[in-house]
Amino acid sequence: MRILVAGATGVVGHPLVGALRARGHQVTALVREESRARAPEADAVMVADALDPQALSAAATEARPDVVVHQLSALRLLRDDPPEAFARTARLRVEGTANLLAAARAAGAGRLVAQSIAFAAAPTRDTVVDEDAPLYVDAPDPGWAATVRAVAELETQVLHGYPELSGLVLRYGSLYGPGTAYARTDGGTSGRVLAGKLPLPEGGAGVTSFLHVEDAVGAAVAAVESEVSGAFHITDDEPAPAAQWLPHFARTLDAPPPRTIPAAMAPRLLGWYMAHQLTSAAGASNARARTELGWKPLRPSWRDGLGQE
C-alpha cells in the first residue's frame, strides 16, 4: 500500500516509517521545513505544515496514499516551552486533523489512522476503564480541559468526519523508551525523579497505563493493515498505581526514593495535572485492541523496561 505518515519526525512517526517499509509498503514521510533534516529514510519526503491546508493538500495529492497516518504533535517543544507545546498540539489535533482529513479525501485515500491518548478519561469509581468511558472535557484545570477537548474533537473528526474515509484512533498510553519523558538519560520526568523533585502523594492511587515506543509503532502498523474502525486503547497489560511505578522507576534510575507528601498538597506542589495523574486518574484496558485489532504488546509490563533506556 501507499502510506503517508504525517508527523514522521516524531518519537513514534520516525520508527514507524521504517517499520512500514519493512512490511513492503511504499511510504511517504510528511515533515515541516524546519524538521526536514530529521526526516527518516523513506520512499519519498514531502514538506508541508499541517496547519497550511493548501500545502498539505498538494503534498497528499502528489503522494496519492491509500492510507494516511496522523502522528502530529508539537510535544518536542515541552522542554523549552510547555505552554506553546500544548497550545500548538491542540491546534494540530483540531485544525491539523481537519486539514489532514480533507487532504486525504481529496487525494483519494480510503483510510486514516490517528494517534490519541489513553489517559484523558474522567474520574470514575473504576481504576481501569475501557474506551466507552467519558473523556474529562470538563476538568477543573483549564489547560487540561482544553487538551482533552482537543482530543475529543480529533477523535470525532477521524471517526465521523467523512463516510468514505475509514477512521481508526490509537489511544496511546504513557510512552516510555528513547525520546520520551521517561528516557533514562534525557527524559524530563526522569530528570525530576533523579533530582528528587517528583514526590509521591500519600496513597499514590492514580493509575497509569504505560506503553513502550516499539509497541506504539507495532499498533500503528496493525492499524494500517487492518480494516476495523473505532477507538482503541494501546497500552501494556499492567495498569499501575503511582505507589507502585514511581518508587520502581526511581530505583531503576538509581535515584533517591520519592518522598511522600500529603495528597492535599499535591496540586500546589506538582500542578493540577500531575497531582491528578498520581492520585485519581484511571488506567486503560487494552482488551478491545487485543480482540478487535488483533494487537498485543511485545512488552506486556512496564516493570521490564521503564527507566532502563
| pLDDT band, very low/low/confident/very high, at 74 (cuts 50, 70, 90) | confident
pLDDT at 219 over 70: yes
- The answer to whether the Cα torsion of 140, 70, 235, 271 is positive or negative is negative
Give strand pairing partners of 284: 129
Separation between Cα atoms, residue 307 and residue 212, nearest integer Å: 11
pLDDT of residue 128: 98
Distance of CA 275 to the CA centre of its chain: 20
Task: Say what the pTM is.
Answer: 0.95
Span 204-224, mean pLDDT?
Answer: 98
Averaged pLDDT of the chain: 95
Separation between Cα atoms, residue 215 and residue 242, nearest integer Å: 22
Local structure of 297: helix, strand or coil: coil
Span 49-63, mean pLDDT?
Answer: 96
Q: Worst-scoring range by mean pLDDT, 33-37, 146-150, 221-225, 303-307?
A: 33-37
Separation between Cα atoms, residue 216 and residue 142, nearest integer Å: 28
DSSP string, 165-232: SEEEEEEE-EEESTTSTT-TTT-HHHHHHHTT---EETT---EE-EEEHHHHHHHHHHHHH----EEE
Evaluate whether residue 256 is within a structural domain.
no
In the chain, % of residues over pLDDT 70:
98
Q: At what angle do helices 242-252 and 272-279 cross, to 10 degrees?
A: 110
Instruction: For 246-287, write each residue's pLDDT tens digit.
Output: 999 999 999 999 999 999 999 999 999 999 999 999 999 999
Instruction: For 131-141, write each residue's pLDDT tens digit.
Output: 999 999 999 99
Instruction: For 120-132, write each residue's pLDDT tens digit.
Output: 999 999 999 999 9
Span 201-221, mean pLDDT?
Answer: 98
Separation between Cα atoms, residue 129 and residue 233, nearest integer Å: 10
pLDDT of residue 82: 73
Instruction: For 159-172, write each residue's pLDDT tens digit.
Output: 999 999 999 999 99
Span 192-208, mean pLDDT?
Answer: 97
| pLDDT band, very low/low/confident/very high, at 11 (cuts 50, 70, 90) | very high
Q: Is the distance from CB of 30 to CB of 70 less than 8 angstroms?
A: no
Domain count, the chain: 1
Evaluate whether residue 187 is within a structural domain.
no
pLDDT of residue 89: 87
pLDDT of residue 21: 98
pLDDT of residue 81: 67
Q: What is the CATH number of the domain that holds 29?
A: 3.40.50.720
Evaluate whether residue 227 is within a structural domain.
yes
How many angstroms separate the most distant Cα atoms in the chain?
Answer: 57
* Domain interval for residue 166: 2-180+210-236+284-299
Evaluate whether residue 244 is within a structural domain.
no
pLDDT of residue 84: 75
pLDDT at 113 over 70: yes
pLDDT at 5 over 80: yes
Evaluate whether residue 255 is within a structural domain.
no
Instruction: For 76-108, write each residue's pLDDT tens digit.
Output: 656 666 777 778 889 999 999 999 999 999 999
Separation between Cα atoms, residue 23 and residue 302, nearest integer Å: 27
